[in-house]
Amino acid sequence: MLTLRRIGPLLRPVAGWIALAIGLGALAMLANIALLALSGWFITAMAMAGLAGVSMNYFTPGATIRGLAMTRTAGRYAERVVGHEATLRVVATLRPWLFERLLPLAPAALADLRDGDLLTRLRGDVDRLELVVLRVVAPIAVAGIVLAVGLGWLAISHAAIAGVVAPLLVLAGLLVPLAAQRYGAGAAARLAERQARLAATLVDHVEGLAELTIYDPQERHVARLLAESDTILGDEMRLANASAFAGAMVGFSAHLALVAAMATAIAGFAAGALTAPQVPMLALFSLALFEAVVPLPLALQSLPAVRASMQRLTAVTEREPPVSEPAAPIAPPASGVLRFERVGLRYPGAEDFALRDIDIALAPGLMLGVAGPSGAGKSSLIALAMRFVPESEGRITFAGTALSAFDGDAWRQRIALLPQDAPLLAATIRANLQLAAPHAGEAELKAACDLAGILPFVQQQPDGLDTFVGAHGTKLSGGEARRIALARALLKPAPILILDEPTEGLEPQAAMALLQRLRSVRAVQAILVISHDEAVLRACDTTLRLVAGRMLAH
């Protein structure tokens, strides 16, 4: 129950809906049990009256049976509607809760997670938690209510029958589910982790399909996917065996209870304690009680998987944000000089500094180039400027104020960034551009495309700005996708522009033309250009060279 206690605070906003779903489920099940028992009594009573040649009032029991049937049908329908409403409201609670905790962590504190793993946490683990109402909470609560009412009435009607049925209910509703859960607990807990690993591997496979086609002709990566899939199938088979065992044992217990209740009732009839119609009524009532315990094996079997998903989510949400927000943040100025003063950066757990003794003054109108081999610290420089990570030593200021005094989101609005792996959504060119400026009009979008050098391509397309680019821009060439991403960065009104490999995929003449347009149009914007292209670096006002995290030339 530790899992339910951890999820409890997340379910509290929909507690009323959950309680209503439980109440309706219990009402529908009790109506069904009463319907079966009363039908047995009514049929037997009518038969006895016919054999004896006497009349009986069949209107009252007939009307009661119809009322119970309608109550059962309406109750089940209402329980489904309310239960799914509760589930949807749980989703509406869980996803914002998760995103609210992930946003302060991205991207630095989530860098160790593969894309597929994070996707599984966002979807698979949340989907598993949202079913906790329908598969765990409601079945257990409904079973508790129904068994308490049913056994109470049975004990009042005939204590001996209650005495033989109760142990079998304990067997089917508690011991068998616990045994099935224990048998499949390891598989259920492993399943969440293995499904996440398979999803991550599959995402890597799809995204790297071109490279794998060239460099993996033996399809070792496919073999790895199949091996991971086989381990999941093994776990699912173990869970299926546990479920089959539990179902068989519940059915066996129910029929054993029917036989035991019938034998006890017949003995009671022979002793004169029961009438003939009461014998099938009590026997069928005992059988119908087992409807309440049928969902319990699945409910308990779901707990390890729910617990594993909750642990996977909390393992991420309980991480500390790499950057602490100020208690009383101030708004960053509209313009100013971004200054690094002997700044150093060492990532948590690392022995060496990623950056050391960095001095930069990025002023409005200045185009500063940054060069260096892979791993030299260029990405760390961007992370510091964006305040994704805090500086370990030194000071970073904007217009004379430390970045740590600004609200993080407000500060990042002052920077337009073109990252090296700038993503394009599976949408139109217009939709991708408007991520930077949602209210930008046609003229603004075309101006940004013109500045990025992609406007002629856009105008050649039959749908213009409404051209679909495909997932990750797959319908575009590398250079076209890069320039659309650049146009998006240029569309954002910000005093600082950071461009990571802005000319990648461009011919030398097009690259130089792009830099010249940036100089002429963005004369008051501070521009930081990160590039391996020496021609691009020579076009900058000054160049900073990084080697092993240190500034060698400025």
Q: What mean pLDDT, rounded, does the chain reach?
A: 88
What gap in Å lies between CA 445 and CA 255, rounded to an integer? 72
* Secondary structure of residue 365 in the 3-state scheme: coil
Cα–Cα nearest to 539, from 496, 494, 509: 509
Contact 536, 511 (CB under 8 A): yes
Q: What is the pLDDT of residue 456?
A: 92
Q: What is the pLDDT of residues 246-296, one digit of tens each?
A: 999 999 999 999 999 999 999 999 998 899 999 999 999 999 999 999 999
Look-up: residue for tokens 């139109």?
428
Cα–Cα nearest to 364, from 382, 337, 341: 337
Please state whether the peptide bond connecting residue 495 to the residue before it is cis, i.e. omega within 30 degrees of 0: no
What does 468-506 look like in DSSP terms, one character per residue?
B--GGGTTS-HHHHHHHHHHHHHHS--SEEEEESTTTT-
**Percent of the chain surpassing pLDDT 70:** 98
Length of the chain: 554
Q: What is the pLDDT of residue 4?
A: 58
**Percent of the chain surpassing pLDDT 90:** 48
Q: Cα dist. 280→44, 52, 152 in Å?
A: 8, 19, 18
Summarize the confidence of residues 88-108 as an average pLDDT: 85
Q: φ, ψ for residue 525 (rounded to 5)?
A: -95, 135
What gap in Å lies between CA 95 and CA 313, rounded to an integer? 11
What gap in Å lies between CA 502 and CA 122, rounded to an integer? 32
Residue 187 in tokens: 């598989």
The superfamily (CATH) of domain 338-553 is P-loop containing nucleotide triphosphate hydrolases (3.40.50.300)
Q: What is the pLDDT of residues 55-83, one digit of tens each?
A: 777 888 889 999 999 999 999 999 999 99
Q: What is the pLDDT of residue 61?
A: 86
Look-up: residue for tokens 């009680």?
289
- Dmax (CA) of the chain: 114
pTM, entire model: 0.76
Least confident piece of the model among 145-154, 196-205, 328-337:
196-205
Cα–Cα nearest to 365, from 484, 237, 528, 160: 528
Domain 2-317 listed as CATH 1.20.1560.10:
yes
Cα–Cα nearest to 195, from 119, 132, 134, 131: 119
The pLDDT of residue 20 is above 90: yes
Q: What is the pLDDT of residue 153?
A: 95
The pLDDT of residue 366 is above 80: yes
Cα–Cα nearest to 184, from 125, 243, 229: 243
Cα–Cα nearest to 394, from 527, 554, 499, 549: 549
Q: What is the pLDDT of residue 5?
A: 67
Q: What is the pLDDT of residue 143?
A: 96
Look-up: residue for tokens 């929909």?
14
Q: What is the pLDDT of residues 369-414, one digit of tens each?
A: 998 888 788 888 999 999 999 999 999 999 999 999 999 899 999 9
- Which residues have a Cβ under 8 Å from the Cβ of 123 and sit 6 or more positions away? none
Q: Kindly list the domain boundaries of the chain, sorted by start residue.
A: 2-317, 338-553
* Top-confidence residue, 539 or 267: 267
Q: What is the pLDDT of residues 474-498, one digit of tens each?
A: 888 888 888 999 999 999 989 999 9
Residue type, 245: F
The pLDDT of residue 47 is above 60: yes
Cα–Cα nearest to 385, from 366, 364, 361: 361
Look-up: residue for tokens 């996977």?
312
Summarize the confidence of residues 91-113 as an average pLDDT: 83
What gap in Å lies between CA 318 and CA 65, rounded to an integer? 54
- Which residues have a Cβ under 8 Å from the Cβ of 77 and sit 6 or more positions away? none
